[in-house]
Amino acid sequence: MRHLGHDDDRIIRQKLADVHIVDFLIKKVAQRGDDLRNHTGAERGAEGSILKLLGSKQNFRIAELAAELLGPSFAADTGEWGTYSWSRFLCGAPAMRIAGGTDEIQHNILGDRVLGLPR
In the chain, what percentage of residues exceed pLDDT 90? Answer: 21
Over residues 98-102, the mean pLDDT reads: 77
25 or 98, which is more confident: 25
Buried b (16+ CB within 10 A) or exposed e, 82-106: bbeebbeebeeeeebbeeebeeeeb
Which phi-psi region, left, alpha or beta, contains residue 25 (left: φ > 0; alpha: ψ -120 to 50)? Answer: alpha
Residues ≥6 apart with Cβ < 8 Å to 63: 89, 90, 93
Domain extents for the chain?
Answer: 10-114
74 or 33, which is more confident: 33
pTM for the whole thing? 0.76
Residues ≥6 apart with Cβ < 8 Å to 105: none
At residue 84, does pLDDT exceed 70? no
At residue 15, does pLDDT exceed 90? yes
Instruction: Classify 10-114 by CATH class.
Output: mainly alpha
